[in-house]
Structure 1
């Protein structure tokens, strides 16, 4: 059994010891010797302070034990104890009801009338106080059900006041979002299923027609902070990727080709090797 340390009712502790020692069929002398072994360091000092040969029997030891530690005996609680439970000025109805219900559990044979009177006495002025004073409930379950209704009203009202006062959820991490955007591919996806095969590079086409054909300006793009200094795009006029591999320029050239605005240029480019051979 748990050693006695002055925190529980000594009469209950003594009864538990008698029951346990009775099962062993121990003699009175053995009981007197066994009992001190169930005391903690703070209570064994009392036993050591007893004068020698002052204990004639276990009953004598039990009487002295109760006389010394009876002040630790649990105080019986009655209905009037509920009158001391008051709802604090800033205390929520939920918290007050939890404290009141816990106090009710410590009172045996508590009548519904006494519980209602104690509850009304401790409540602050408000809707629940007026409701329960006007129409008394008939059971503790009804008290809890009606209290829950006003608890929800109170908590919903607090949420509404918080939203009006400017309360909002924590702001999103803009830096984190911007990093995610930078990590996403910035290249515009291909616009056409098939592209016209060219015998010259996109760069050569762009260099040839950029001054004679009306080409839409490139859309702004974002790159990661670390850019390649070996790859330069003449279309966007920035470092970071080659012109030939970027679909922005591919889509522009393909649009011109499908409109027939590159036919003469392509014919000239294809005739140049033949002309060079004739000159040679």
Structure 2
């Protein structure tokens, strides 16, 4: 066999790595059959001297830094260089060459019948991991976005609280004969107070040992609630609680709680007065 016909028939006799070598030859790089023969012998004469063993398929290992895609390509090329390698050894060699993990465990439990089946399972595994990674990335991004919104809300709340605390600090010290809790429970003007703001806790938990009658809920003490103190201060400025200030002159208006006639004792004596401070 020789001449142009030999060049056309020659590829049909090749397989594996030899066929791949022939397919990669540059265009018009073969002059005639003699030139093809010479180049073929030069390429494979070393392999003729040393025949690769089937056991070499089990010496191929996936490197720690090597991606699964690259390893599949590299393993397939190496197997093509081993003439007559049984497919069963290709499958077993591929399974043992993988880095320990989920894919190796799956191929060991359900051994593929063909090397193509093993490759298909490997690519399914890659796509599954890529999808999971993508979903986690989206979820992380959404969580990060919610976290930013939460932080912005928290900062906004703290800003409001800081402004309110600063506002409270400007309240002048006032002496009253009732503490905020008693005042809240006995004075009619307290029904005009603005509703309290929702409770906020730095620790995220309520203090069940303290109760606020303004909120009607646990969390802090009534006498310590700043908004209540501010409402009391506003009522004082409007003259609605002037009768609770020790030494203040009585206005012409007589409040209902003051309309108490002392009949049992003409001289009740000096009443006991408790003085409370409304300040921060």
Q: Which TM class, normalised by the smaller chain length?
A: 0.3 to 0.5
TM-score by length of 2: 0.32
TM-score by length of 1: 0.32
Structure number with greater CO (CA < 8 Å, separation at least 6) is 2
